[in-house]
Amino acid sequence: MKKLPTLLASLVLPGIGHILRSRIAVGVAFFFGVIVLLNILAYAAFRAVPAPSGRRAALLVGGLCLVWLGCQAHLAYLLYGVDPAKHTERKERAFHEGLQHYVRDELTDAIRQFEDVLRIEPFDHDAYFYLGLCLSKAGIYSRAIRCFKKCVEFDDERKWADDVAEEIARARAARKAKTKTG
């Protein structure tokens, strides 16, 4: 869908633009945020007990406006502020550099590069896997295990499932041995 119609659709129904741009969780969150605030306003305005004071009503309307404006601003940023080609290029470059550092056993630099990949694309299961490997190799076992679990969580194709199970077992054993000796 084109950018302007997506933005206009979101003006009418907050969150729909995000959903149309494959940002489903964010779109649903914005949609329900607006719906919840509208329900609170309606309940407060039409219940039998006296209506809320001007201050409370103003806070509710202000909150509704902030959620609605936040939705529009975020969608405008997604539509007009991020160049997908540069985004992908930056992510791939950081991932490639992370692999190079990992192969050379430069773990600090590799960890930094894979963390950069995850800042750019928070659901990249390959980056979680290699970050987990680097952290495990560096002796940061608890964080490595969390990364391996995230890898499996985002790996729809189950590409890393067997490797992750082995790495988690290895990291747990190493962590256990480290606590016994330390």
Each residue's pLDDT tens digit, 106-146: 999 999 999 999 998 889 999 999 999 999 999 999 999 99
Model confidence pLDDT, tens digit, residues 45-69: 776 556 556 777 777 788 888 888 8
Q: Is 161 helix (H, G, I), strand (E, B) or coil?
A: helix
Calpha distance 81→78 (Å, rounded)? 6
Once rounded to an integer, what is the mean pLDDT over residues 72-98? 84
String of b and e for 89-118 (b: at least 16 CB within 10 Å)? ebbeebbebbeebbeeeebeebbbbbebbb
Sign of the four-CA dihedral 123, 25, 142, 111:
positive
Calpha distance 38→163 (Å, rounded)? 48
pLDDT > 90 fraction of the chain, expressed in percent and rounded: 39
Calpha distance 20→8 (Å, rounded)? 12
Give the type of residue at 133.
Answer: L
134 C-beta neighbours (distance < 10 Å), count: 26
- Domains with residue ranges and CATH for the chain: 3-81 (no CATH), 84-181 (1.25.40.10)
- Mean pLDDT (the chain, rounded): 86
Calpha distance 145→135 (Å, rounded)? 9
Whether the full predicted model's pTM is greater than 0.85, yes or no, is no
